[in-house]
Amino acid sequence: MTAQDTSPSDVAVLVCSADSRAKRSPIKPWGTPALKRKLISAGLLIALLSAWEFAVAAFNVSSLMFPAPSSVAMALWRGLSRGLYWQHLETTGFEMVVGLSIGATCGFVLGVLISEFQQIGRILFPYLVSIQSLPKVAIAPLMVMWFGFGIESKLVVVALITFFPILINTLSGLAVVDEQRIDLMRVLLADRWQTFLYVRLPSAAPTIFAGLNVAVVLALTGAIVAEFVGAQRGLGVLLLQAQTNLDTAGMFAVLVFLAGIGLIANVSVRRLERTVLYWAKRREEK
């Protein structure tokens, strides 16, 4: 076929086929980068557990001091099969979710008020710094004295622990806003509420979710600490019972269970972030 015999439609077909071949990525033997990271992470975990098992057997370490991973796995399986963890998980999970909801809501609302009305921030700042400097573990017994051994004291402790990460990240996010967008809203004669809703809040949302990622892990920590002080049910109580019975493998099993809960909670918040902040997700994909 000569150049004279080639029609414009033939040229378009050739260009499209060349384009599709260029865009077609070669088959990689190890899959996507995400799959590679997961395989490396799983391999690292297997290597660490194998080294742990070998070290315990080689140095004849007492199971009361440091149990082998196989013993921890057996204790974890016994607890799961008997339904031991689930009844306590209901209590701890309720404390974690409700306390986080209260703390995050209060932190977000106060952060917005301080950002919009700076006089409120100047008045409350010394009190907020003073409360933040107090170790929450130290005030947990006081909460039990005030609110009793029921669920209320646990909710207060969790709310206090999760309040400040959300407050600080809300203030940080609302403080960093593109001034050109603010000027555009002024040109459009937008009021304060419209500027906050359409410019300031979307700009601060990634920073607020970063604080929520931290707060969700701290919520689990706060619930366990509150249960240590005084409770009848919960994973913290189960951990104390294993300690009293010198069941070190059982303690490790509860810790593994807690680590799984924390991981699931963090992944859930990240998925919520990707769903809500769809525009940020698109920028990452590009």
Q: What is the pLDDT of residues 158-189, one digit of tens each?
A: 999 999 999 999 998 888 877 777 777 777 77
| pLDDT computed for residue 8 by the predictor | 46
Which architecture, in CATH terms, is 69-285? Orthogonal Bundle (1.10)
Domain boundaries, the chain: 8-58, 69-285
Question: How far apart (Å, rounded) are the C-alpha atoms in residues 217 and 211?
Answer: 10
Look at 89 and 34; give whichever has higher pLDDT: 89
Q: Are 72 and 252 in contact (CB under 8 A)?
A: yes
Whole-model pTM over 0.75: yes
Question: Percentages helix, strand, coil for the chain, rounded to the nearest 5?
Answer: 80, 0, 20
| pLDDT greater than 60 at residue 94 | yes
Half-sphere exposure of 285 (CA within 13 A, CB side): 7
Digit-coded pLDDT (tens) for 217-248:
999 999 998 898 878 888 999 999 988 888 89
